[in-house]
Amino acid sequence: CHVVVEPRLSKQWFVKMGPLAKDAITVVKEKKVKFHPDRWTKVYLNWMENIRDWCISRQLWWGHRIPVWYCRDCGEVTVAVDEPKACGQCGSANIEQDPDVLDTWFSSALWPHSTMGWPGDTGDLGYFYPTTVMETGYDIIFFWVARMIMMGLADTGDIPFSTVYLHGLLRDEKGEKMSKVRGNVLDPLDTMDKYGTDALRFALTNDISPGNDIKLTPSRLEAGRNFANKLWNATRFVVRSLEQGAAKSKLSPVAQEILDGLAGRELALEDRWILSRLSGTIANVTRLMENFQFGEALRQLHDFLWGEFCDWYIEFAKIRLGSKEEPSPLPVLVHVLETSLRLLHPFMPFVTEELWQNLKQRLPADWAETESIMIAAYPAADKEAVDPQAERVMEAVIEIIHAIRNARAEHKVESGRWVEAQVYAGELTPAIAAYSPAIETLAKARPVSFFESREEMPPGDNVLALVLKSSEVIIPMESMVDLEAERRRLEQEIARTGAEVARLEVRLKDKAFLTKAPPAVVVKERDNLSVRKDRLERLQQRLDELN
């Protein structure tokens, strides 16, 4: 509130902290209480080893009253757990309680055991105390965490928790701490109304590092909303495919059908690939969460669902569903989606519950034993599903499609134009060649020719050569553009850009302009010259390639 503080002396109650801190230091040094990230262990110990006595009295309206009574007759002080009827020294009933209340953090420090019925020996206290993980912000490690450890040890003789996970502070897009004074606070209700509750949860969790601050920018919130929309559309596709396609009996039970297919290697290569990637993702996410790497866990799960399941597997499945090709991809589609929803549920509980229920309604009654995803089993990695060869082949197929798409975009190929592609992938060539129809459809490339050796590939100077991780792709330039028309266009662009470069060079050599023009204008013109020179160089390089 920016009001000037006027210091004055007053009587206050203190707690001597040295004896309490001793045991709280020992349990951390002996690793009975661990901090994540570990760097906060040193900070904690440094503070505890230099601890000062704690002023616990506060002049506030609300709080736990200080358990102190003053005798109006003899002036002595009585400290008691239960409210006394008389002065402990002279026996006078003329006593009054101290009007001060305990520091909020004193009351909060009792939370782990006082909420469980302490000082009574209750069932809840025996079951829930000590707990496992305490999660809070690093800014209250001294105010709350250290005091909970000290109070817990003093009152119960045991630590209140074995692990402390410390998250960072929430900052605005400029990196400033959010506060009402600065006026940069986001109302969570307004934010949830605009982007969605799970989008906010995603923004606060995705790709964060333990103990590091988070910049809550609109782009992070939009990314969460877009991810939720992507999941919604993927589920809608699977549900619609179920309604339009195979009889329900073919999908009951899905898990057993998939296991049978894996055992006999009856599944299509892309099925084995996505199941292998699912198993790997489950293993990674589980390991990361157990190590408190929540941000990286969500990032990998996001990349799998968006970058592999939605962007690629569903596209391959569409081709098979459209051609009635067997085996049907529906069992794998359902299995991967449903398992992924369960894996994602701790991060985005609302959208996953809604989508899981939507999927459940379209499947046989015996498909899911539980009524809610909240009580469904957490996914476990299936080692039998891991298929390195399927991953290797499908990564090569995806890389080829991606490279051809990029080449089309870079050379501004018309959307309706088919390009020609020649592929060499060494020992993977036969396996990749089986995906020629998929490459043609997804990359808009026809024909796609495969060669078992580089020597077999037809020579050609006017080609675009793409050297990839597992393959080489040759695209004849004439299949992408009308060479003569493209040459004319480039020559015109070069002439126009060259004229602009010459004009700017003349202007920037003019002493009158340099002395009279505002500095910002001169800087802007120099930037324009640099941009146009770069463009001219790229245009000339492109023309040289065509020639």
Asked whether residue 412 is domain-assigned, the answer is yes
Which of 118-132, 290-304, 361-375 has the lowest average pLDDT?
Answer: 361-375
Query: For the segment 415-437, what is each residue's pLDDT rounded down to a tens digit?
Result: 888 888 889 888 999 999 999 99
Which of 80-84, 164-168, 334-338, 449-453 has the lowest average pLDDT?
Answer: 449-453
The model's confidence at residue 459, banded by pLDDT at 50, 70 and 90, is low
The model's confidence at residue 66, banded by pLDDT at 50, 70 and 90, is very high
Tokens coding 147: 């005091």
Tokens coding 418: 């088919």
Residues 539/411, Cβ–Cβ less than 8 Å = no
Last residue of a domain, one of 386, 401, 425: 386
The model's confidence at residue 412, banded by pLDDT at 50, 70 and 90, is confident
212 with 355, same domain: the answer is: yes
Whether residue 224 has pLDDT greater than 90: yes
**What's the gap between Cα 186 and its chain centre?**
20
Last residue of a domain, one of 480, 513, 530: 480
The model's confidence at residue 460, banded by pLDDT at 50, 70 and 90, is low
**Quick one: which H or E segment has residue 35?**
strand 34-36
Helix 218-244, helix 314-323: angle, nearest 10:
20
456 with 434, same domain: the answer is: yes
Q: Is 137 helix (H, G, I), strand (E, B) or coil?
A: strand
Which residues make Cβ contacts (< 8 Å) with residue 197, sequence separation at least 6?
350
Q: Specify the pLDDT at position 517.
A: 86
Q: Rounded mean pLDDT of 463-472?
A: 82
Asked whether residue 326 is domain-assigned, the answer is yes
Q: Rounded mean pLDDT of 331-345?
A: 94
| Short-list 53, 63, 54, CA closest to 99 | 63
Q: Specify the pLDDT at position 461.
A: 66
361 with 425, same domain: the answer is: no
Asked whether residue 182 is domain-assigned, the answer is no
The model's confidence at residue 247, banded by pLDDT at 50, 70 and 90, is very low
The model's confidence at residue 261, banded by pLDDT at 50, 70 and 90, is very low
Query: For the segment 80-105, what is each residue's pLDDT rounded down to a tens digit?
Result: 988 999 998 898 999 999 999 999 99
Query: For the segment 500-523, what is each residue's pLDDT rounded down to a tens digit?
Result: 999 999 999 998 888 888 888 889
Q: Rounded mean pLDDT of 530-541?
A: 88
The model's confidence at residue 248, banded by pLDDT at 50, 70 and 90, is very low
Asked whether residue 5 is domain-assigned, the answer is no
Q: Is 368 left (phi over 0), alpha (psi -120 to 50) or beta?
A: beta
Domain that holds residue 163: 14-65+100-167
Q: Specify the pLDDT at position 91.
A: 87
Query: For the segment 101-141, what is each residue's pLDDT rounded down to a tens digit?
Result: 999 999 999 999 999 999 999 999 999 999 999 999 999 99
Q: Taking all residues of the chain, what is their mean pLDDT, rounded to a whole number?
A: 89
Q: Which DSSP category does 377 fall into?
A: P
CATH number assigned to the domain comprising residue 382: 1.10.730.10
Q: State yes or no: cis peptide before 160, omega within 30 of 0.
A: no
Q: Is 291 left (phi over 0), alpha (psi -120 to 50) or beta?
A: alpha
Whether residue 173 has pLDDT greater than 60: yes
CA distance 437 to 440: 5
Q: Specify the pLDDT at position 41.
A: 97
454 with 340, same domain: the answer is: no
CATH number assigned to the domain comprising residue 511: 1.10.287
CA distance 138 to 417: 57
299 with 287, same domain: the answer is: yes
Q: Specify the pLDDT at position 402.
A: 94
Whether residue 234 has pLDDT greater than 70: yes
Q: Is 376 helix (H, G, I), strand (E, B) or coil?
A: coil
Considering the chain, what percentage of its residues have pLDDT values greater than 70?
93
Asked whether residue 173 is domain-assigned, the answer is no
156 with 281, same domain: the answer is: no
Asked whether residue 174 is domain-assigned, the answer is no
Sheet of 161-167, strands arranged across: 34-36, 161-167, 131-137
354 with 488, same domain: the answer is: no
Q: Which DSSP category does 31 fall into?
A: T
Residues 214/169, Cβ–Cβ less than 8 Å = yes
Query: For the segment 3-42, what is each residue's pLDDT rounded down to a tens digit?
Result: 888 888 888 999 999 999 999 999 999 999 999 999 999 9
Last residue of a domain, one of 430, 463, 480: 480
412 with 382, same domain: the answer is: no
Whether residue 74 has pLDDT greater than 80: yes
Whether residue 282 has pLDDT greater than 90: yes
**What's the gap between Cα 363 and its chain centre?**
30
Sheet of 472-476, strands arranged across: 445-451, 419-424, 472-476, 463-467
Asked whether residue 118 is domain-assigned, the answer is yes
Whether residue 485 has pLDDT greater than 80: no
Q: Specify the pLDDT at position 500.
A: 93
Whether residue 265 has pLDDT greater than 50: no
Sign of the alpha-carbon dihedral angle for 133, 134, 138, 141: negative
Q: Rounded mean pLDDT of 462-477?
A: 82
Whether residue 166 has pLDDT greater than 90: yes
Q: Specify the pLDDT at position 251.
A: 47
440 with 419, same domain: the answer is: yes
Tally of domains in the chain: 4
Q: Rounded mean pLDDT of 64-75?
A: 92
209 with 245, same domain: the answer is: yes
476 with 490, same domain: the answer is: no
203 with 159, same domain: the answer is: no
CA distance 219 to 210: 21
Q: Specify the pLDDT at position 113.
A: 97
Asked whether residue 91 is domain-assigned, the answer is no
Q: Specify the pLDDT at position 245.
A: 57
